[in-house]
Structure 1
Amino acid sequence: MISECGKLYVVATPIGNLGDISYRAVETLRRVDLIAAEDTRHIKTLLQHYGINQKVISLHQHNEERASADLLEKLRAGLSIALVSDAGTPLVSDPGMPLVRMVRDAGIEVSPLPGACALIAALSAAGLPTARFTFEGFAPRTSAERKSFFKAKAASPDTWIFYESCHRVLASLRDMGEVLPKDRQIVIARELTKLHETIVKTTLAEAQALVETDPNMQKGEFVIIVEGAPKEDLRAEISAEQQRVLEILLQDCSVSTAVALAVEITGARKKALYQAALAIGSEKGGNWRS
């Protein structure tokens, strides 16, 4: 770490409600030498609200390579800089990656200030599984690309999330309806933390009908959360005798050893036996060796 250099702060800002910013973030924005913002006009509303008068420069997707190099030199000269996007956490479907990469590669400290993030806010209120999920950024712009994207995600057992614009949300739901089962659960979260915040959990078919018939559901900024596909029931692939052999082996062997031996003895699929072994352990309260 180069101690005489400045520090880059990656600062999360509100996604709608100006109150959704941490005390630490406000204090950091007040004391840095410079704020790099996706849209200088947009961020000034937040800065004025909190009486912050620091210098702001633009860093967006069209200038970030050049601007990042300039900011790196300022950090090397000892200045401290805060990176913000228009809303939420920088780099999450927002500019900033070239700057953070350059700064880290140069050995200069990068400090994150956590806060608002639309995908996490939506997920926390969705009522869909959260143990494993994937974030896909914005859905593709064309119908053909969207359908390919949805087909690639159709069999995933994990919850998945993407952003969508008001101009394409209905088309996106229609394309999804041609690829995914109509009864797949989805959540539409729009205008999060704003006056017209709406979070709807329903089936894909009902969601499409809702957006088609309600013009208000075609306005604002959207987070779409999709339920994962039902997990394959691999236990059904093994016979009662294969299950009995596996249970006997699990009494004295680790899961990996029991599964390997059961494959040799019974000829059942390894994946099916392993899934069955996990299920047996769960039913016994996890009282077996791993």
Structure 2
Amino acid sequence: MQLTRYGSVDDFVAEAERYQVAREAEHNLLLGICSAIRADAEALWERPYFVIVTDDSGGIAAAALRTPPWDLVLSQIDDLAAIEPLVEDSTLHDAHIRGVTGPKIAADAFARRWSQWTGRGVHLELEERIMRLSRVVPPTPIPGSWRLAEDRDRALLGQWWSAFADEAVPEAPRWADLAAVVDRLIRRVDRTIYLWEVAGRVVSMAGAGGKTPNGIRIGPVYTPPELRRRGYASALTAAVSQDQLDAGRRFCFLFTNLANATSNRIYQAIGYEPVAAVDQYAFEAGPPL
């Protein structure tokens, strides 16, 4: 196995995109992060890390990237021999890597080998499922309608963006400048935010970003606790998905938390189909290796 680092997102995409698009749903996060970097490189906190592992025949065995301080993101890895060079190189590149996210088998193997290599503990932080939609099944009509987020929604977006993160990924890093994040959302730099409004009141939020060659990732989807179980998230997610299909996308993708039976049920009811399991591991912090 041969590992190669890439100094730019363009070089990485030129080499890896064909491999990733062959399994576009499984690789939608990798593809989407690359498209987001191309759209707004100034949003990066630190220099990103891009690597590809090739086998003895020169074919791609694995691809991975990291945009610190976020997790290392893995591609589908069919030959787990590619894990060894990935663990060694990514850890030498940054001994403070927070964790890994990827297809279940690959992420599990990486986490185990990382723990052996570093002597530090790991724990399974989140079990998810990638889902894909190509046709929307309209939900039962409810009051209200969707609109795009505007400048007047800044305060609400900041509150809900943070609330979603606190609930869905409580251990993940937080943004150094939330106001700048909201500004990019309002300007639709790499993500569009949709809102569901009832009688002038915004009751739910959903995003669309992380473009792939044939699709886009839906998320985050957030409704305040006091407004849940009224069909707002279903209606808005269906509307966002349909709007993206109408814009020419072949697919919409999203990640669901396997522990949240409600969200899994409502997404499948509007046309999303399970594709692959994804695990997210958090790594124990420690001194430089």
* Both proteins in one fold, TM over 0.5: no
TM-score band w.r.t. shorter chain: under 0.3
Query: What is the TM-score when the length of structure 1 is the normalising length?
Result: 0.27
The structure where strand makes up a greater share of residues is 2
Larger radius of gyration: 1
